Structure 1
Amino acid sequence: MSTKSPTVDDILRPIQHTSKRYFVLLAVAALAFGTFLVMWGVQLAEGLVITGLGDWGSGGGVTWGVYIGAFIWWVGIAHGGIILSAAVRLLGMDRYMPVARLAELLTIAGLSAAGFYIIIHLGRPDRMVTSILGYYHVTINNSPLVWDVTVITLYFVLTATYLLLTLRYDVSRLRDELPNHFEPIYKLLTIGYSEDEDPVVERMIWWLALAIIILAPLLLHGGVIPWLFALIPTMPGWFGAVQGPQFLTIALTSAISGVILIAFAFRRAYGWEHIITDDVFRGLTLWLGFFTLLFLWLQLQQIISGVFAAPLDQRTVMGATIAHPVYAIAIGLAFGVLAYTFAQAIRPSLFTKLRSAVAGVAILTATLLEKILFVVEGMQYPTFDLYYAVPGTYFPSIIEIFSVIGTIAMVGLFFLVVAKIIPVVELHAIEHLREKRGLEEEQPAEPAE
């Protein structure tokens, strides 16, 4: 563990210094996102039918595929990210303060990607206005899509408020070190700011954190999103009380994985070994292992209840799921991560930051595959004899595949741009680390009278 004292210059390094590697990453992310936008343009011109998502029932295929599976995946990453940040403040988990803002930014980016998937899957963007906003008072009573939009908007507002309140403190104290060309943004962030508001803001942040911790399991990825699937008895692959806890564990494992990867990238790029320490990565990896264990345990619950003396329709869909190679890959990756976290807990010498990052990639891949298969198998095996005759097949189109690559690139662009505008590590985290290590900032000399 580094004993070097973290400084303000450390957290300003991403803003003040730009390397060639940065521009290369920016270009690659922009190219990937741009490629998907071109493909989406083709979909808008030709119609959603070119993805094959319009073929269902006796014609075979499904109407929901990668788009909805990836939507659930991004919503889970977003919700889990803000839960992690809220837990840091609410439960006093000061160890993870250096990555709290990264988790908040991941939530903003993840919710944006999830919202983008809603627009993509609608077929025509204007339907957001004609079908949702214009008739919200009617559609909110019976439309799963409108509930998705509602909870995403709610969490986006909560997270943005949460993030902006903490940014006011940082921007006001670091303004002289921040670039002048973003002055309008900084003025907007600190409008009406005074130091007298700091204690009030701290209380507001605590209450917001409490609201987030309460809402997450009740209304968001532990509630509304899984309920939209779990309450449909004619879809035996979705129906059941286990979906709420299952979705929540997937959200938390995915979010922790995302934070590990982002923290790993920033630490490596800017030499933040003394800020995002090995201890942070060890702790995140252990939490990842714990929630992976819960994820696998709930998968076992679904398998046992789906194959042992279950109704015929439930046995059919569960048998198809566990026999699918994609499911075997997803569960295998999760088992691999669980085995690694267990092994490095027993033998600490097995721990490395790179292995933690690889575990994060494995879990993100596993949860994405599991959610896509969950959506597809649920639609291919409904409780209707007509559809059992010709269950059909589904394989994602190139546009759907590039949608995942494109949204990942979009999130990457978000972090690359935001890191040039605001500190991605809180000033409070730096102050806490200095205090913890017994180091005090040098006080400026008092001016002579």
Structure 2
Amino acid sequence: MVEPLLVIEPNFDRSINNGTVVINIQRDLSYSQKLLPIILDINQIEILTSQVLDSDGQDIAYDAYYGRNNLSYHFRIKERDEGENLLNITLLLEFESRLSDTLQGFYKGFFLEEGSTEDKSWFASTQFSPIDARRAFPCFDSPDMKATFEISLVHPAAKQSVLSNTEVIRTSVVRPGFLREDFETTPRMSTYLVAFVISDLQLVQRSEGFTPQINIWSRPEVGRMTSYVQRLTIRILPYLERYFDLKFNMKKIDMVAVPDFGFSAMENWGLITFRESAFLVPEDNNKSSSAKHTERVALVVAHELAHQWFGNLVTPRWWNDLWLKEGFATYMSYECLNFAEKKWRVFETFIQNELQKAFEKDSDKSSHPISFPVDHASDIRRIFDPISYSKGASIIRMMNSFLGGEAFKAGITRYLEKYQYDNAEQEDLWEILTAYGHEYGTLPESLD
């Protein structure tokens, strides 16, 4: 078990982040009785100082060194008598990472202030999926290394919005002109879902009398174009809770229209970030082109909300089963809109949008099995493709059809309940859906 405490401060002028991270590690003696090397993932991070403590808070002798190409940082604990005080080990590191402009890791961007053609408002935002948390802070950057996170952000006091996955519990002055926001401890989750935003974006929509609290942030001049997403979210979230028979587990969802963002959206738990073009809907959307845009935005929003269960609550153990979250989120986005926007008849467009896209990709030489070995970073990024999304969604739609709606829903509810706050593999899903197919009599007993 690993529990990080992270304090990070972006320096917009120097394009760096200064930070400290405290990582509490509970050794798994069933895996190894020996003190194996501890290897943290990093990418363009300089470790300034480090310290290793035992469970009594006493210093442990160790060697520390960078791994190949400076993409990891290793701690080798020096031999000493084993004891209970080595069951829990604490790493303390001061580090410096890059505040890049590449839309990866913890990055910076700007937008022009309202009414100005020159005045820039700088912001810092995150994009950690799939393997870029290691660009922001030293960590175990793997989906199966789930942990709770205690996050603190130090920022210029003038910044209007400082957000992370959970709510702020404490604000303090660290020095003149700078504040520190401490956030509630997160649920147990993967590093790629950690997120924070420091900006002058404004709170333009807030749900009243709705749980969880829905907060929408954008540039002030486009605030009116967020109303549709707020209305849609308030319809979809309760539907997903009923469909999965599992309540959403966070107190709030911040939905942020980021002026400079590399993807359509990112499902960070409790802090969903969007590209503006995949989030904003003009109030006058009667034209056919506007209607198509609205449907696209709705599919993106529904996709990210479905991820709060498939991906966030239950996460694939490794990237070879990426389809378990992306295929389900894609399929569920159509289920959501079939409920929230019946007049659109979205499952008629599913054939063109998803099934046909899957066939086209499958006929290409670059196609791959829906689940296949992923060994290198380049392979991880490559599988975010129509096979994982569209073919995955098509397979799930087919399973719903031959199992029947009741057996299918009961099966995925059991899957989410069994593996919540944990990881799962493709075989885990097959086992549960097969069992419910037998229980409901929709799958022959001979098929197992």
The structure carrying a bigger helix percent of its residues is 1
Task: Give the TM-score, by structure 2 length.
Answer: 0.26
Report which structure shows greater RCO (CA 8 Å, sep ≥6).
1
More strand, by proportion: 2
TM-score, with length taken from structure 1: 0.26
